[in-house]
Amino acid sequence: MGGRGHPGRGTPWLGAGTLSWREAAVSRSPEGNAFTPGPHASLLALTQPAVPGAEQILTPDALAFVTELERRFGARRRALLATRLERRARFRQGELPDFLPDTLEVREAPWRVAPAPADLDDRRVEITGPVERKMMINALNSGAKVFMADFEDALSPSWENVVAGQENCIAAIRRTLTYDSPEGKAYRLNPDLATLVIRPRGWHLVEKHALLDGEPVSGSLFDFGLYFFHNAHELLRRGSGPYFYLPKLESHHEARLWNDVFCFAQEALGLPQGTIRATVLIETILAAFEMEEILFELKDHAAGLNAGRWDYIFSVLKNFGHRPEFLLPDRAAVTMAVPFMRCYTDMLVRACHRRGAHAIGGMAAYIPSRKDKAANERAMMKVREDKGREASNGFDGSWVAHPDLVPVARACFDAVLGDRPNQKERLREEVHPSRQGLLNVAIPGAQVTEHGVRTNIRVALEYVENWLDGRGAVGIDNLMEDSATAEISRTQLQQWLRQGAPLAEGGVLTRERYAVLAQEELAALEAAGHGGLRLAEASALLERLVHEAVPEEFLTLGAYRYLTTWSAPPPKRPGPRAPRTGARDPQGRALLFPFIRSWGGRFRTCNLPVNSRALCQLSYTPRLLPVSLSRTNTPSLPRLESKTTRRTRAGRWRLGDEHAGYARPASRRFEFRLLSRLARRVSMGGRGYSSAPPPVKGVRSGSGRREGMMSPSVLRPPPGHGTLADPAPPDPRPTSRRARRPPPAGPFA
Q: Where in the sequence numbering do the catalytic residues fall? A: 199, 482
DSSP for 554-587 reads -HHHHHHHHH----PPPPP-SS--PPPP--B-TT
Report which residue type is found at 129.
G
DSSP for 22-78 reads TTT-EEE-TTSS-EEE-TT--PPEE-S---TTHHHHS-HHHHHHHHHHHHHHHHHHH
Instruction: In whole angstroms, give the CA distance from residue 291 to residue 298.
Output: 11
- Long-range Cβ contact pairs of 602-607 (< 8 A, separation 24 or more): 604/684, 604/685, 604/686, 604/689, 604/690, 605/561, 605/684, 605/685, 605/686, 606/567, 606/682, 606/683, 606/684, 606/685, 606/689, 607/565, 607/567, 607/634, 607/685
Instruction: In whole angstroms, give the CA distance from residue 439 to residue 315.
Output: 12
Q: Is 485 helix (H, G, I), strand (E, B) or coil?
A: helix
Instruction: In whole angstroms, give the CA distance from residue 48 to residue 208.
Output: 10
- Half-sphere exposure at residue 292, Cβ-oriented, CA atoms within 13 angstroms: 20
Q: Is 711 helix (H, G, I), strand (E, B) or coil?
A: coil
Please state, as a whole number, how many other Cβ atoms lie within 10 Å of the Cβ of residue 32: 12
**DSSP code at position 448:** B
Instruction: In whole angstroms, give the CA distance from residue 37 to residue 25.
Output: 5
Residues 6+ apart with CB under 8 A from 399: 126, 127, 128, 148, 306, 360, 361, 362, 363, 364
Nearest C-alpha neighbor of 427 from the set 352, 320, 526, 331: 352
Please state, as a whole number, how many other Cβ atoms lie within 10 Å of the Cβ of residue 503: 17
Write the burial class of residue 146 (CB in 10 Å: 0-12 exposed, 13-18 middle, 19+ buried): buried
Q: Is 278 helix (H, G, I), strand (E, B) or coil?
A: strand
Is there a contact between 202 and 255 (Cβ–Cβ < 8 Å)? no
Instruction: In whole angstroms, give the CA distance from residue 180 to residue 242.
Output: 28
Instruction: In whole angstroms, give the CA distance from residue 283 to residue 483.
Output: 13
Instruction: In whole angstroms, give the CA distance from residue 619 to residue 459.
Output: 30
DSSP for 376-410 reads HHHHHHHHHHHHHHHHHTT-SEEEESSGGGHHHHH
Is there a contact between 58 and 29 (Cβ–Cβ < 8 Å)? no
Instruction: In whole angstroms, give the CA distance from residue 58 to residue 426.
Output: 46
Alpha helices, H only, 103-218: 104-108, 133-140, 159-173
Instruction: In whole angstroms, give the CA distance from residue 362 to residue 392.
Output: 14
Please state, as a whole number, how many other Cβ atoms lie within 10 Å of the Cβ of residue 545: 20
For 427-454, letters b (16+ CB in 10 Å) and e give ebeebebeeebbbebebeebebbbebbe
Q: Pairing mode, if any, of strands 302-307 and 277-282? A: parallel
